[in-house]
Structure 1
Amino acid sequence: MGPPSSIMPKFIFPRRLQVVAFSLFLTVPFCSQTQMLARPGWAGSGMNAAPWWKHAVIYRADPRTFGGLRGIAEHLDYIRSVGVDAVLLTSLGSDVKQPIDAAAGTMDDFEEIVRRASQQSIRVLVELDPQQDLSSWTRMWLVHGAAGFYVPGANAEQLATVRKAAGGLGGQRIVIGDTDAVGAQSRGGDGPQMLVDRSAGTQEKFVASMVRPALEASQPFADRSSLLLLSDGPKLKRSMSRYGGGAQDVAVAKELAALLLTTRAGAMLYSGQELGLGDAAKEISFAVPQKKGDQPAPLSVAAENASQDSLLSWYRQLSALSHSNRTMSSGAITVLNHDDQNVLAWVRRPAAASLANPPIVVVENLSDQAVTVSLKADMQRLHLRGSFLRTVLRSDNGMGAMHLDGMTLAPHVVFIGELKY
């Protein structure tokens, strides 16, 4: 945490610049309208009452991992392929005279991202520093087409300032805060629409006894507002480096991905985690082999595109499932306790479960050994009818249904199945 705001020097827009920015805000909202009306009828377009951010997948893009903002603009097709609803631009700059660091790019690059993203129905969000003059910075970014803001570490009053400034334009401008910074203060008409919770995805060890309680504790926030689970970020050690170091690195990363993308919450992904990049990696590699027979570089987009078993492919499958299956996008969640076997499991339940609209069960074996787990008693306790799970998605190459009274999972395998009888 930095020093208290009372002793931090604040960035203050000159009076003249504030007037100019506000005038532009009122008279030239072209880019902002582009973001609002990219696809008539889409959620949050201003022509549809449904909030677009409910159960959203947000991709937090650091310009440095793409070689600058121009690289992000050029690779929006790739970002969209991960299955995201919005791109959050981070590490842009903090100087009011030059809002974007020269190494990251220019405002023209930013507006090009907005233009291209709008064509692909992707919102563009901007990360703000809570020590900035938030009202002025919010207005400035709105003029250039931002569809919302994430203010990490901001308190409830600061978030209310951003929410008020962002509410001046039509459409649904999103404001995102942190659960650990605002907590219960966040609720209300002037609070953030979304909250980021990093507790489940950043535990010291990725074991059921530590992750399950954190996941359970986060779900009340998901019920009251739109929650985003997070495991990686600019100031965090990458999860691949944090939990990796063994032969099962990719398998563990797939378990973490399922945690982020199959609960009641949405997810905030950090650029490169979908490829399994560790702390040593500086940029995403989009290089392709130049000669016939050459193999793409490990962890490059080309290498992971070529493998159906890659981590990138898994992220795409999970995002597609969370967007296309109503139970996964809006169903209630019950987290099950199988800590004694180092198994993480939860049930997603539709409002009215039936044979045609069954609950979905997610089971993860977080241990290095195969385990046989019974979920029969759990289903009986929840008054859910069923005797087996029909495969929806699994992280290994296994086949066939899983019986509730004895399902065997190989080490670090994720199984997602529909409850059937």
Structure 2
Amino acid sequence: MVSRRQFVLSSLLVAAGARAQELARAGWRGNGIAPEAWWLHASMIRCAQDVTFADAVKMLDRMSDVGADSILLPDLEPTAKQPYAERFGTEEELDALLREMSARRMHLLLHMPLQRAISNAGEVRFWMSRGVAGIDLGTLGSGDMDAVRQLRASLDHYPGHRILLARTAGQEAQAVASGSRRRGSASSDPITLHILSPQDTESGVRHTGAVNAVEIAAMPVSDEKAESAAATLPAAVPYVRSLFPLLLASGAPILDSHLLTSDLGRESVQQVLAFRNTHAVVRDGSVVVLATAQPSLRAWILRAKGARGSLLLAANDGTTPATLHLTAALASNGFRNVYLRPLMRSDHGMGAVNVEMGTLPPGAAIVAEILH
């Protein structure tokens, strides 16, 4: 039985959806979402729960600075009166956000739990008619796939590519991700982007058959004074450690909005994304996780066909200096008598690095070319 609250909300959503259809004229995402698979090359900014529609508008210039083209809003917590809580802003502010994003060819997505999306068709209709380009369903299991297929079928009635994002946990991850749905593919599981955690990416987890996105949280800089000094060097990227998953994963990045609030964070994102998009080994190479002698030292090889142009990523996640001692690990992967030429680093060091005796300060990280 439908409760009075559900009936009132459904009626309001239908009325709001009809108005949204009227507003879906040229320039609105309601009829302008690109027919191509824009999500394969998207860079998304995930907003915190306390964001407002007005805050999101102010964020657009900073997004353009780093090449991000999509905003992922939190759960907007619909009420009996309207499809979003009052604290997020007014309808006029929502309209302003949609218009400004449309003018910049950006996409708006939002979080909506699967069960609510299935049981409240009016809410989904409202946001799809307003031109929302996708829904983050949160964490799912293999038992949720029938419900997601139902939702996918509903979204397919709207023009353009409307996507579904999801993350999976534990042993179900491979089962769900292996059937992730690409537009036009024969796959039966309708998740367009499977969200990987940085921990998954850094441990070398690969979800065969999935179209992945990697989610990056904002991390504090370890030593503000040292990092500010390092930022004056050409290769200095203070936040490079927290952005390593962007270099290790091939999927679309989902970045915490707090990464864009400081100049250092914004510059770091800009440099790493540019490096990721232009360096052939990062784009097309394979990833090898290296065994290290110290638990606090993490290291990876990004390797192209053959050894030429390969990169080493190394990070000291501990509280004391770490010596690399990577000679044996590199030799086992075919790299002998080599040294490292840093391309990006978070500390103020300069010059070539010895693969055996080189050291990284606490919290420091480097991206280096492996040279003979």
For normalisation by structure 2, the TM-score amounts to 0.77
Cα distance, 1:216 vs. partner?
A: 5.4
Mapping of 1:327-406 within 5 angstroms?
327-338=281-292, 340-350=294-304, 352-353=305-306, 355=308, 358-383=309-334, 387-406=338-357
| Structure 1, unpaired ranges of 5+ | 1-8, 37-44, 201-213, 233-237, 276-300
CA RMSD after TM alignment? 3.8
Question: Do the aligned partners of 2:17 and 2:126 also contact (CA within 8 Å) in 1?
Answer: yes
- Mapped pair 1:174 → 2:179: no
Size of the aligned set, in residue pairs, is: 345
Question: Do the aligned partners of 1:100 and 1:107 also contact (CA within 8 Å) in 2?
Answer: no
Q: CA separation in 2, counterparts of 1:111 and 1:266?
A: 27
Match of 2:233 in 1: none
Helix, strand or coil: the match of 2:86? coil
Question: Do the aligned partners of 1:262 and 1:322 also contact (CA within 8 Å) in 2?
Answer: yes
Cα distance, 1:364 vs. partner?
A: 0.4
Letter in 1 for 2:194: L
Match of 1:318 in 2: 272
Helix, strand or coil: the match of 1:64? coil
- Mapped pair 1:64 → 2:55: no
Question: Do the aligned partners of 2:216 and 2:253 also contact (CA within 8 Å) in 1?
Answer: no
- Mapped pair 1:32 → 2:29: yes
Cα distance, 1:343 vs. partner?
A: 0.8
Cα distance, 1:416 vs. partner?
A: 0.3
- Cα gap change, 1:16/1:117 in structure 2, threshold over 3 Å: closer, same or farther? closer
Q: CA separation in 1, counterparts of 2:302 and 2:39?
A: 19
Match of 1:90 in 2: 74
Question: Do the aligned partners of 1:55 and 1:330 also contact (CA within 8 Å) in 2?
Answer: no
Helix, strand or coil: the match of 1:220? coil
- Mapped pair 1:408 → 2:359: yes
Match of 1:163 in 2: 152
Cα distance, 1:197 vs. partner?
A: 3.2
Structure 1, residues 311-338: CA drift from partner, whole Å, max 9, x if none?
A: 3432332222223324324432122222
Mapping of 1:265-344 within 5 angstroms?
265-272=251-258, 274=259, 301=261, 304-305=262-263, 310-338=264-292, 340-344=294-298
Q: Which moved more, 1:364-373 or 1:26-35?
A: 26-35
Match of 1:257 in 2: 242
Structure 1, residues 354-394: CA drift from partner, whole Å, max 9, x if none?
A: 64xx1222110112222221333333333357712222211
Q: CA separation in 1, counterparts of 2:312 and 2:40?
A: 21
- Cα gap change, 1:354/1:53 in structure 2, threshold over 3 Å: closer, same or farther? farther
Helix, strand or coil: the match of 1:321? helix
Structure 1, residues 119-160: CA drift from partner, whole Å, max 9, x if none?
A: 334321111122314344333212111111101134323332
For normalisation by structure 1, the TM-score amounts to 0.69
- Cα gap change, 1:220/1:339 in structure 2, threshold over 3 Å: closer, same or farther? farther
Letter in 2 for 1:180: A
Cα distance, 1:18 vs. partner?
A: 5.0
Match of 1:420 in 2: 371
Question: Do the aligned partners of 1:32 and 1:142 also contact (CA within 8 Å) in 2?
Answer: no
Helix, strand or coil: the match of 1:53? helix
Mapping of 1:122-133 within 5 angstroms?
122-133=106-117
Helix, strand or coil: the match of 2:57? helix
- Cα gap change, 1:216/1:254 in structure 2, threshold over 3 Å: closer, same or farther? closer
Match of 1:150 in 2: 136
Question: Do the aligned partners of 1:374 and 1:406 also contact (CA within 8 Å) in 2?
Answer: yes
Q: CA separation in 1, counterparts of 2:63 and 2:191?
A: 25
Helix, strand or coil: the match of 1:340? coil
Cα distance, 1:112 vs. partner?
A: 2.4
Helix, strand or coil: the match of 1:262? helix
Helix, strand or coil: the match of 2:75? coil
| Structure 2, unpaired ranges of 5+ | 180-186, 231-237
- Cα gap change, 1:362/1:218 in structure 2, threshold over 3 Å: closer, same or farther? closer
Q: CA separation in 1, counterparts of 2:91 and 2:154?
A: 21
- Mapped pair 1:99 → 2:83: yes
- Mapped pair 1:196 → 2:181: no
Match of 1:185 among 145, 157, 176: 176
Cα distance, 1:174 vs. partner?
A: 1.9
Q: CA separation in 1, counterparts of 2:246 and 2:166?
A: 19
Structure 1, residues 261-316: CA drift from partner, whole Å, max 9, x if none?
A: 221144322222x16xxxxxxxxxxxxxxxxxxxxxxxxx5xx43xxxx3343233
Letter in 2 for 1:268: I
- Cα gap change, 1:191/1:22 in structure 2, threshold over 3 Å: closer, same or farther? farther
Helix, strand or coil: the match of 1:196? strand
